[in-house]
Amino acid sequence: MPDRIQFQSPIGMVTVLVCRDAVSAAQISINTGKPHPAMTTNPVLCACRQQMGEYFAGQRKAFDLPLDWQSIRGFQREALLELLKTPYGEVRTYGEISRALGKPAAARAVGMALAKNPLPILIPCHRVVAASGHLTGFSAGDGLNSKAWLLQLEGHRVVTEKLA
Q: Which residues are catalytic?
A: 125
Q: What is the DSSP letter of 57?
A: T
Could you tell me the CA-to-CA distances from 127 to 89, 99, 144, 150, 156 in Å, in that order? 8, 16, 12, 8, 10
